[in-house]
Amino acid sequence: MKLFKEDEIFITERPTTLPEIHKEKVCREVCQTIISNGWAYTDSIEDIIEDIKEVNWNQDAYYIAKDLEDCYQFNIDASFVMYLDGVDNKFRRSLELIVKEWVVANKITPKYEIGQKLELTKYILHLNIGDKYNINTCNLENGTYGIGREKIISRTLSFEEVESKFKI
């Protein structure tokens, strides 16, 4: 499945948020599941999409379900809550696919090799500037390194972030 159109201009920066067209696609899939399981108050995907877009997905699935029940008369039960618990993964997987396409389209390649020791020169949360870290893994598909001390991976970072915040 091609995530980009042939005539689409590729961005030079790594995608960090899901484009609207892909959010819409995931929302439609979610809405179809909600309707087919009888959890919705209507069979109109368009109405449910509008409701789903209003949801704060940064909260527990039970509270999301409760909001949908209280505000939009959804028919919630335990299976609905369990389903909602995995919806954020659908959005995350969609973004991961876009990143993989971006890596290929922009010919992103690693600058460092596994085993190289690098010094952190710019701030990264929970890492200390001046400390040495190893490149322990390299994921060409996602354009990421696994970095850490010795053989323990403490962080997965994009090629771009490692190249801009570390030195040999």
What is the DSSP code string of 93-129? Answer: HHHHHHHHHHHHHTT---SS-TT-EEEE-S--TTS-T
Distances, alpha carbon 69 to alpha carbons 56, 66, 76, in Å: 14, 5, 6
Per-residue pLDDT at 153 exceeds 90: no
Neighbouring C-alpha atoms within 13 Å toward the C-beta of 120: 18
Give the global pTM.
0.74
| More confident: 9 or 49 | 49
Q: Tell me the per-residue pLDDT of 52-84, one tens digit each, with 9 for 90 and over.
A: 878 887 789 999 999 999 989 999 999 999 999
Which residues, at least 6 apart from 12, have a Cβ–Cβ distance to it below 8 Å? 106
Q: Quick one: which of 144, 137, 138 has its CA closest to 158?
A: 144
Averaged pLDDT of the chain: 89
Which residues, at least 6 apart from 122, have a Cβ–Cβ distance to it below 8 Å? 129, 164, 165
Q: Are 64 and 55 in contact (CB under 8 A)?
A: yes
Residue 12 DSSP symbol: S
Q: Quick one: which of 114, 108, 97 has its CA closest to 4?
A: 97
pLDDT computed for residue 50 by the predictor = 86
